[in-house]
Amino acid sequence: MRGRLIAFEGVDASGKTTLAKSVCQTIESTVCVKGQGNKETVVGRFARRHPSTFVFLFELLVMYLTFVRSALKNGKTIIHDRYYYSIMAFPTALRWYNQLFFKLFQIVLPKPDLVVYTFADTDEIIRRLKALSGDNRFHEMLINDPWILDYEREIFMKMLSNAKRVMFFDTTKRSVKQLTEAVIVAIKDLK
Amino acid sequence: MKNSGQSRIKSIGWGFGLCDMNCPKCYSHAGSGRRAPCYAIEELQAVADKICDAGVTDINYGTGEFIMNPNVVDLLRYIHDRYPAVKQAVTTNGATLKLIDKALLRHFHDVDISVDFADPETHNRSRGHPLAWKWIIEGLKILEDLGMEKSIVTCVTGTHTDKDLLELLEFCELHDATGRYNFFRETGAQKDLPGLVVSAKRHWEIIRLLVKEGVVFESLSDPLLAAIFGKANEYGLKGCPCGQVSCRIQKDMEVTPCVYLGGPLWSAGNIQKVSLASVYETDPFRRIRERYPKECRECKYGDVCRGGCASRAYLSGGDLNLRDVYCPFLAGPEVMEIVEEIRELGIKTGTGTEKVHDGYLCTIMHRRNS
């Protein structure tokens, strides 16, 4: 039986990575994939040095072709921390060539069976971003220009309107444990 | 005006304008002391012949209080005798039920009673009339004695609390009536009253409240709800019923595709002068039928929802190509979370009703049986 592809999406600091990790640790037979700027792959490291929509999309395609596809064929559950929604939610993705590549890549990249979308209000996101340690230029940009968060949310909503199944979680309302349980129930329902 | 082809209009809302109440939230600027054109019975009969011969099967008299308008009782009798297959209904504040001859009341297929709040004082205040509640109770008693089909309609505003809505549910149950909700639309005719508009979040919270209360949705002719909860095919329609299978004759006899869209911009002509077939082909009707906002074309519900309620979209931003303001994808993740919760709770739907209001405008009809 073909495995399931679960994408965790949301703006930065919305709680998707925390939730994705928790789900990975709880259920067996899963493959956890960091879907953007993955340090463990050559193309991921390249993408971190040269961040752009096209490069991130290419990274996603390479990961799919090299191991995600075969893992799915072997019945594994793939937990993708960020999928193409995150990449296409950024303002530069609107450029015509990025849209064209996205359309082409979508021919190969499968639609996730479930998208888990995490969110929190802007003040909370900013608070979390400020609390995160490290020198992240993109986080700095979001703190200084929070309108980008609104923009991203709008694009996410538009794209998710065509997703197979989406779960929406306000990560300020429930604990990670509760959210993990809800996601696991949904994944089991898919089978 | 050219008359090309046939109209698909089956349901007509016919408003006469004169009313004995003073509701500040009234979408049509009706109300006691206000004027409305008066028509001779021959004029009304001529319009009735025109619409009934054009294939209309349902007529609801609303906007203003039916009985307060001259010659309308004779119109009711005329349509009943001449076109017995045409179902007539009335939306009333109770006054018509009290004043009309009981034998004539049976000419209505079903009756819609407007109740804003189940608390007498709050209802009277909302209606701007000290006897409003008394007429409701007396009207319901008359309908119960006659064993007539009825529904209780509420214009849900931002001022309705969960407690108010639960009381209304109990009131409907007590009187064995279907509940019908129309969410308030700011048409511009209302007095400047803050807090009447129902936000997208509140709208979905109300739907969640109904689902938690175990109501059965007897009808979901609201395209957005019908699409999201997989009930769109019941009506065989794509998008809003307005302008497709229903329309409105306004108090000045101008025909508009939707009750909430009035004025010259939306007028398809005066029904005394034009045919229903030509009305159907006019620009206002075509624009509503062909409406399909760009953002909705990629949405999985888009093909059947077609941007949801046209009046909600247009009145929110002055453009038909906007999405329904209650679209959860437009409202954002917080609202989507509520929609998902509703889905998990499980929405119970009926098989539709024979009531005139079913499928006639963007509305929801529900019933709770404890």
Break chain A into its structural domains and give their ranges. Answer: 4-189
User: Which phi and psi (to 5°) does residue B312 adopt?
Assistant: -65, -40
Q: How many CB atoms lie within 10 A of CB B38?
A: 12
pLDDT attached to residue B353: 77
DSSP at A155: H
pLDDT attached to residue B3: 41
Task: For A120-141, write each residue's pLDDT tens digit.
Answer: 999 999 999 999 867 788 888 8
According to CATH, the topology of domain A4-189 is Rossmann fold (3.40.50)
- Closest-CA residue to A80 (of A48, A117, A105): A117
Question: A77 has which bridge partners?
Answer: A30
Tokens for B166, please give them: 């639960």
Minimal Cβ distance to B295: which of A119, A158, A168: A158
Cβ neighbours of residue B10 under 8 Å, at least 6 residues apart? B55, B56, B57, B58, B245, B246
Minimal Cβ distance to A169: which of B300, B329, B337: B337
Helix (H) or strand (E) run with residue A116 in it: strand A114-119
pLDDT attached to residue A191: 66
pLDDT attached to residue A68: 93
Residues 145-164 of B with CB under 8 A from A: none
Q: What percent of chain A has pLDDT over 70?
A: 99
Q: Is the ipTM of this complex over 0.85?
A: no
pLDDT attached to residue A43: 83
pLDDT attached to residue B324: 95
Three-class secondary structure assignment of chain B: CCCCCCCCCCEEEEECCECCCCCCCCCCCCECCCCCCCCCHHHHHHHHHHHHHCCCCEEEEECCCHHHCCCHHHHHHHHHHHCCCCEEEEEECCHHHHHCCHHHHCCCCEEEEECCCCCHHHHHHHHCCCCHHHHHHHHHHHHHHHCCCEEEEEEECCCCCHHHHHHHHHHHHHCCCEEEEEECCCCCCCCCCCCCCCCHHHHHHHHHHHHHCCCEEEEECCHHHHHHCCCHHHCCCCCCCECCCEEEECCCCEEECCCCCCCHHHCCCECCCCCHHHHHCCHHHHHHHCCCCHHHHHCCCHHHHCCCCHHHHHHHHCCCCCCCCCCHHHHCHHHHHHHHHHHHHCCEECCCCCCCCCCCCCCEEEECCC
Cβ neighbours of residue B331 under 8 Å, at least 6 residues apart? B200, B201, B204, B325
Shortest CA distance from A157: residue in chain B:
B329
**Cα separation of A171 and A187, whole Å?**
19
pLDDT (tens, 9 = 90+) of chain B, 370 residues, equals 444 467 889 999 999 877 877 777 776 665 555 667 889 999 999 999 999 999 999 999 988 888 888 899 999 999 999 999 999 999 999 999 999 999 999 999 999 999 999 999 999 998 888 899 999 999 999 999 999 999 999 999 999 999 999 999 999 999 999 999 999 988 876 656 778 899 999 999 999 999 999 999 988 888 999 899 877 666 667 888 999 999 999 989 999 999 899 888 999 999 999 999 999 999 999 999 999 999 999 899 999 899 999 999 999 889 999 999 999 999 999 999 999 999 989 888 887 778 887 777 888 899 987 6
- How close does chain B come to A157, measured CA to CA in Å? 5
Residues in B touching A170 (Cβ below 8 Å): 333-334, 337
Residues in B touching A156 (Cβ below 8 Å): 333
Side-chain half-sphere CA neighbours of B233 within 13 A: 1
Amino acid, single-letter form, for residue A174: R
- Is the distance from CB of B250 to CB of B262 less than 8 angstroms? yes
Q: Report in angstroms the alpha-carbon separations of B52 from B10, B48, B330.
A: 9, 6, 40
Q: Chain B contact for A68, CB < 8 A?
A: no
Strand order in the sheet with B150-156: B255-256, B246-249, B11-15, B58-62, B87-92, B110-114, B150-156, B178-183, B364-367, B216-220, B348-349
For A190, the 3-state DSSP assignment is helix
Please judge whether A157 and B299 are an interchain contact, meaning their C-beta atoms are less than 8 angstroms apart.
Answer: no
Residues 296-335 of B with CB under 8 A from A: 298-302, 329-330, 332-334
- How close does chain A come to B290, measured CA to CA in Å? 21
Q: Report in angstroms the alpha-carbon separations of A72 from A65, A78, A118, B24, B88.
A: 11, 7, 24, 60, 59
pLDDT attached to residue B2: 41
Strands B246-249 and B255-256: antiparallel
**Which of A117, A150, A168 to probe by mutation at the B interface, max B CB count within 10 Å?**
A168
**Which of A117, A119, A157, A166 to probe by mutation at the B interface, max B CB count within 10 Å?**
A157
Q: Which residue has the higher pLDDT, B220 or A147?
A: A147
Task: For A20-50, write each residue's pLDDT tens digit.
Answer: 999 999 987 788 888 777 888 888 888 888 8
Residues in A touching B341 (Cβ below 8 Å): none
- How close does chain B come to A120, measured CA to CA in Å? 9
DSSP at A27: S
User: Which phi and psi (to 5°) does residue A32 adopt?
Assistant: -100, 130
- The length of chain B, given as a count of residues: 370
- Closest-CA residue to B17 (of B70, B59, B56): B70
